[in-house]
A and B are shown apart, each in its own frame.
Chain A
Amino acid sequence: MAIVVSDLSTLDTTDVQTQLETIRGMLESLEPDIDLNRGVLHDLLLYLSAVLATANQTNVDLVRQSNSLAAIEEDPTLADDDVLDRLASNYRTTRKEGSQATGSAVVVLTASVPTVVPFGTVFTSNGVTFTTPSVFVGRTNEDDVITDTDKLIQTSPSGIISFTISLTAEEIGDNGNISMGAQLTPDTTLTNVSSVYAAATFGGGTDEETNTELSARLLAGTSAKCLSSRSSIDGMIRAEEDFENILQTSVLGFGDQEQIRYHSILPVAFGGRMDLYVRTTELWEESVVVKTATLQSKVGPVGTWALTLTRDDAPGFYQVTKVCQEGEGAIEDGYAAILTAGFSVTVNTGEDATASTTFIPDLDTADEARFSRYSTATVTFTDTDTDASGLTNGVSTRDYDVVVRKMPLILEIQDFVAGRDVRNPASDCLVKAPVPVFLTVDITINVLRNSTEPDEDDVKQTIMDYVNGTGFTGTITAAAVSGQVHNVLPTNSYVDDITLTGSLLNPDGTTTAVGPSSGTLSIVEDAEAMISSRTVCFFCAAEDITVTLETIDAP
């Protein structure tokens, strides 16, 4: 237990001397005839008793601190795990044990023949291992797909043969939330299998709750759970089981420049509007949506197509990263259509045949709705892989895999806060994903010749954990990133240089370059465009980190 004093040489000297005087005073009253000021009794009896008494008192003080939420908040390292767990139980709260990530993987085959992936097959991606929770059999004939573990083998228009399986991470932790397209390497040779990729971003992986996180949750938990103050709003959302793992919230309402949804002929802020920005996961989620595109125009065999992402396709989406032939969205080497520069974003609050029956926030423009569940988009792209010669503009249609990058749970949280029993009668509440800055990191690490080289995966994970855990902020520093990386570097290696480069995705759909910088990377705030340290979060994925190791000689 961390709260027990195990080394008597680490006590506070002043405390020991104070205890010595206290014990001397008490013993002198009890035994006035013995000399306790000097000599054998002083050095052997009084001194050693004072040391032990101080150790006991220190233990008592540590236990007392561990039972205080205020003291724990000041210094979470003082809190012993067991003591904090018992304190949390007083508030009917238990430490989150963490969970294993799960997801779907695409198994690419060399031939369209029945293929078996045995139960318990281990796959590895970026040092994280996953297993199949059951046997999966790829079937060539739909009539042979009988059980849940039978999967129909499909062939994409470009000839890629594949079927999907489910995987579960072997260990708990958020490092199991691998990105869509991440390559998975089996530990055994699988017959007829050429490669395996994550079909979409894996999810559900969480780390065991630390003392810092548990104490923060306790403090939030004691607040009233309602849409009133910022802490109570945060506590209310976290109290819901489906949202208990969200990372940070930021509420902007009356008095905040970033709150622009005052639709009145008078240029004044009259309240009643609340924007709730939520970072639900460390990294965005990528998934594939199958959409039907309509041919817009063609030049020879090359057609330009357009499709619409509805507000239900990817609520809270950030961007479309690629459009592929149907069935190839997750495949790294699959064909990707040419997206036109940007894509138009509109707002749809539900004035269509499937109008929402829940309370709808006041929305006027596409910019206001951006990153919320009310945002829609028209995506235009050029498909150089499909011969459009015989197709008709405005009539011909074709299905495509659209890979969308988004923040999960935006729809679910919006529906929750719009509920009649939950929402504030005096205000609407619009839930949004954070305004993202997509960060790339170039880091150079010097390693002394013949020394142990750093593990690049560890370095990347450390950078990701730090950047994606910074919350709502407009600034990130290379020094802070460097400090984190040094904690995982072996002896005789050090960070030589870091360059941070950001791309801010504005609510109006444009992008703004941020940096590059080897010092402090900061956004240019524009509160009236809803860009500020209260709306912006930094995101960094493993593929956006470049680690360069340089060998150096001793001077």
Chain B
Amino acid sequence: MALEDLALFQQNLNGTVVQALATPANNGYTVTGVIKLVQRFLLELLTEKGELVYLPERGTKFLPLLRNGAATSWEVNAAFAIALLDLEPNLLAEEEDSDLELDEQYQAAELKNIQVTPGMLTATIAIQNKAGFIYNVSLPLVFRLL
């Protein structure tokens, strides 16, 4: 039986996605299956390593590397590859000794495409589960000078 998790991303009426547990339009959703896996992947990728004080191994250096001046697609690729070194062991450790369905278990991930525009980076990531299904997720990251 698939266990449910809270949905971290909500889709707006205009089709955009926002990071929220609930919106004015709904009280939130639960997720299972490959969507839950994708959510776990993004949560781990976008958590800065060390931010969870008492779970020091969690998270990656992806956002700090981007913030420190990854201006080219090559640099973004490198940051993603470095992040996977932390991310994959964490995801696999969470699945160890568990009874997750195959479609919720992580197999591999690949950075398929990068679009860098002033102030914004859109990364398309392909996430594959152990059932063999590949889910493409488009991740827009907006950077602003404060």
Contacts and interface: CB of A to CB of B under 8 A. Distances in A.
Interface string A1-37: 0000000110101001100100000000000011101
A33 B52 contact: no
A474 to B, nearest CB: 50
B52 A47 contact: yes
B96 to A, nearest CB: 10
B43 A34 contact: no
Contacts of A17: 54-55
Interface in B48-107: 52-56, 58, 94-95, 98
B4 A33 contact: yes
Contacts of A44: 6, 21
Contacts of A35: 3-5, 36
Interface centre among A8, A20, A33, A35 (most CB of B within 10 A): A35
Given A33-B3, A34-B3, A13 B54 contact: yes
B39 interface: yes
A40 interface: yes
B30 to A, nearest CB: 8
B55 to A, nearest CB: 7
B56 A38 contact: no
Nearest to B59: A43
A35 B35 CA distance: 13
B121 interface: no
Contacts of A11: 54
A16 B54 contact: yes
Of A16, A17, A38, most B-chain CB atoms within 10 Å: A38
B5 A34 contact: yes
B36 A47 contact: no
A11 B53 CA distance: 10
B92 to A, nearest CB: 11
A19 to B, nearest CB: 9
Contacts of B36: 35, 39
Given A39-B43, A40-B21, A43-B43, A13 B4 contact: no
Nearest to A50: B54
A391 interface: no
Nearest to A34: B4
Contact of B54 (A33, A34, A40, A51): A51
Nearest to A28: B3
Contacts of B40: 38-39
Where chain B touches its partner, the secondary structure class is: loop
Contacts of B54: 11, 13, 16-17, 20, 47, 50-51
Nearest to B104: A35
Size range of the chain A interface in the assembly = 20 to 34
A33 B39 CA distance: 18
Interface string A400-424: 0000000000000000000000000
Contacts of B137: none
B10 to A, nearest CB: 12
Contact of A43 (B30, B52, B98): B52
Contacts of B43: 39-40, 43
B126 interface: no
A151 to B, nearest CB: 69
A45 B36 CA distance: 16
A103 to B, nearest CB: 57
Contacts of A34: 3-5, 30
A111 interface: no
A41 interface: yes
Nearest to B55: A47
A41 B56 contact: no
Interface string B116-145: 000000000000000000000000000000
B8 interface: yes
B104 to A, nearest CB: 9
B32 to A, nearest CB: 8
Contacts of B52: 43, 47
A440 B21 CA distance: 73
Contacts of B55: 17, 47
B53 A41 contact: no
A63 to B, nearest CB: 22
B86 to A, nearest CB: 15
Contacts of B53: 8-9, 13, 51
Nearest to A39: B5
Interface string A86-100: 000000000000000
Interface of B: 1, 3-8, 21, 30, 36, 39-40, 43, 47, 52-56, 58, 94-95, 98
19 contacts: A8-B53, A11-B54, A13-B54, A16-B54, A20-B54, A33-B1, A33-B4, A34-B3, A34-B4, A37-B98, A38-B40, A40-B5, A40-B7, A40-B39, A40-B43, A41-B6, A44-B6, A44-B21, A47-B55
Given A35-B36, A43-B43, 4 more contacts: A11-B54, A44-B6, A47-B52, A47-B55
